[in-house]
A and B are shown apart, each in its own frame.
Chain A
Amino acid sequence: MDMKATKKKLGMKERYRILTRDLGWEPGYQSKKAIFPYVEYEGIKVHDWDKWEDPFRLTMDAYWKYQAEKERKFYAIIDAHAQNNGHLNLTDARYLSALKIFLQAISPGEYAAHKGFARIGREFPGVGTQVACQMQAIDEIRHAQTQIHAMSNYNRYYDGFHAFADARDRIWYTSVARSFFDDAMSAGPFEFMIAIGFSFEYVLTNLLFVPFMSGAAYNGDMATVTFGFSAQSDEARHMTLGLECIKFMLEQDPDNLPIVQGWIDKWFWRGFRVLGLVSTMMDYMLPKRVMSWREAWEIYGVENGGALFRDLARYGIRPPKGWDDAEQAIDHMSHQFMLGLYQWSFGTAFHSWIPSDDDMAWLSAKYPDTFDRYYRPRWAHIKKLKAAGTPFKNYGLARLCQCCQLPCVFTEPGDPTLTCHRETVYKGEKYQFCSDGCKDIFEHEPEKYIQAWLPMPALFSELGGDVAAWMDWVSLRDGADNGDYDGSRDQRHFDEWRGLATSNL
């Protein structure tokens, strides 16, 4: 009975060390190089993996317990949402366009993150790092699944959700997000960590999730709010992992600084372009708006991002190279995007529309320097065309940026009247870009980006430019999934069903 009294008392940190790091060992029968073949080729030098600080200390027993509790709540709420026709509580079915884009473009990204973190959860030689990455790997499949499950009920009643798996691989605008995640996964383990763990999860995630989840709450979408809230504590862990990883790299060797800085520059710009669609959602797609994209950028970009980069300055890190160009684009991008989406709406599995007079008044107030001057006149013109029975449709195909894969619809920094266009010639081929940021990224790794699958050339090479055949190929139902919200099936159904629920007609 004396034994108990003599047992060593363990602190939290020491106990966690024993339950994780101490499980690993120095291999003797195989070389470390054979077991961890990918950890050196990027040039990042790590001298001591034991210097890794565990960003959170979660053992599996606690993980199962906490996560199960969250899962129980999540599914109880979405079951009730489905049972009670929760979709009729939406402010308006226009809102669903944001969800359709999310399911087609972002949920597959969660899955890609799952696979990527599983890979680096095996490839990093430090046990502490591996366990943290593995937990993120299993969390990310959770996010992909809870999102699909939350939106499944919308799919039963509304168009545009049904072919998300086909859209993920084939439709043109999802290749923006797909190429982002493919880019990260085809990079080495350290760059993947900067791309997803730091740039996406830490620097940019608040710009995606906070507006999105608040937008959902504001517009009566309980299903989405629920997966957002449920994912929040996971995200908090992922953010601390991303930050810990970048500090670890910078503290291990001064030679790592230029490599890490290059990745921050690249992945900030890549992320900024992907998240550009969020600007459109915030300014145009939410029937009841939370805040403007400009306001969100001030809080989550300028304030939070600024504080982060001031903190990292002690390692010699400077703010991302594209930061100033990004700042210049903030007052323009949502309008440029929405105008693009509207003119190409024949080819989108979601609806777009002409903003109402009220909407335009709101946009004027939020963008006093740009909306009335550059964008209201264009909407007014488009509105006139529609009233005359000749709605503005652009059946020409967009020129896509070889890097971010967005149509080149952005304007020059400093001149909002001039479309920004860059090109470069590599091995005798000409490549097009939407911005200096994207051109720089290409020129740093041309052999990678010349491989990009570009949906517009594919439409010609594979389908001979036949738009109807293309619609079949991407599982887009013409006249249902696409086009103007005004006059759509979604609009008709929502109004009719809501009428059934709220009146006696």
Chain B
Amino acid sequence: MQIDLRTVSIQPQRNAFDHLVRRFGDKPASRYQEGSYDIQAAENLHYRPTWDPEQQLYDAGITRIVMRDWYALKDPRQFYYSTYTLTRARQQDTTEANFAFVESRGLADRLAPELREAVLRLLVPLRHAAWGANQNNTFICGYGFGTTFTQPCMYHAMDSLGIAQYLSRLGMLLGDVDALDAGKAAWLDGPAWQPLRRYVEDCMVVRDPFELFVAQNAALDGLLYPLVYGRIVDDELSARGASAVAMLTQFMAEWFDETRKWVDAVLKTAAAESDHNREVLQGWMAHWSDRAAAALVPVVELVLGADADEAVAAHIAAFKARIHKTGIPF
């Protein structure tokens, strides 16, 4: 039997805030829309920054990319703080369970010593590269224009910090604090890591937020994550008996699959905006992905040895195909 509960019904006076009605029509707005569109001050900015009087406080002109409306760069995941945090908290539960599983069953100790060494040699220095990604995304969030573009960069920055922390825990679980020290020494002085460290440091002086987005989130991560967490950890090392490591890096693999959809959507919209944008993006993409690939070869060699060139080449081809689909052939 159906019971109709009687409630007091009163007529709403309007559906949504004015700025959302102007964008999306006179209908109720989603929480993503409410929390993202037009919430950055747009007009009548009071003072020029004392740190760079050439700039405005929010300045779309500090990048070479030109958008009529920066809010067009929306996030297909529709992440605002709440949906972002809930998603990561769920993943964190899984990651925690994976660490606990590996630890409680002593799986780390069962790894063959040379395999454990290979894992530490490859993954531990990457915690510093992840810190670089944190720095660069914090920058894009701080200086980029328009909340739909910049807010995911803050989430991305915190994710990168989280990844750096997971890699540190992995290092401590498989090795010890000494393993982290050795990893840092390799990052600072090991020949295999110098091209990558140079790449990361060079990114830290790029002050065009969109170029930095291309250099870090598209070019570097677009090659590094599939190579390291896909080709090496999930395929190569698992086959050699280190599937426990794949459990510890499950977050990174899933995170990359999720975030690349956002990165692609941003690139696609920016490229579709104008020929000018497409040309600028092509130039950046060619420059940074060439450098990223070259920087990653010696890193991949640490585990794959002579197969490194071929692995990197295959992933460059896959990366080009991916970026081609966003309308940026290079």
Contacts and interface: CB of A to CB of B under 8 A. Distances in A.
A30 B17 contact: no
A186 B47 contact: yes
Contact of A162 (B17, B41, B134): B17
B321 interface: no
Interface in B172-207: 172, 176-177, 180, 184, 187-188, 197-198, 201-202, 204-205
Given A61-B95, A138-B154, A187 B138 contact: no
A183 B180 contact: no
A10 B176 CA distance: 10
A214 interface: no
Given A29-B198, A122-B139, A164 B17 contact: yes
Given A61-B96, A68-B89, A18 B35 contact: no
Interface residues of A, number: 98
A345 to B, nearest CB: 20
Contacts of B46: 175, 178-179, 182-183, 186, 451-453
Interface string A20-39: 10111111111000110110
B80 A156 contact: no
Interface string B8-45: 10101111111100000000010100110011111111
Contact of B39 (A27, A71, A108, A175): A108
Nearest to A455: B44
A23 B157 CA distance: 14
Interface in B118-132: 127-128, 130-131
Interface string B128-155: 1011001100110111000100110011
A146 B81 CA distance: 9
Contacts of B204: 27, 30, 35
A64 B159 CA distance: 10
Given A29-B202, A166-B18, A475-B18, A71 B10 contact: no
Interface string B39-64: 11111111111111000011000000
Given A149-B31, A156-B12, A188-B50, A169 B44 contact: yes
Given A23-B131, A61-B95, A67 B47 contact: no
A334 B168 CA distance: 54
Contacts of B176: 6-8
Contact of B201 (A28, A165, A453): A28
A148 B131 CA distance: 32
A10 B168 CA distance: 13
A141 B154 contact: yes
A185 B168 contact: no
A185 B51 CA distance: 10
B274 interface: no
Nearest to B189: A28
A74 to B, nearest CB: 8
A8 B52 CA distance: 47
A118 B154 contact: yes
B47 A182 contact: yes
Interface in A284-324: none
Contacts of B89: 64-65, 67-69
A416 B58 CA distance: 41
Nearest to A449: B47
B222 interface: no
A471 to B, nearest CB: 13
Pairs of residues from A and B, 3 with the lowest C-beta to C-beta distance, nearest first: A68-B89, A60-B162, A118-B142
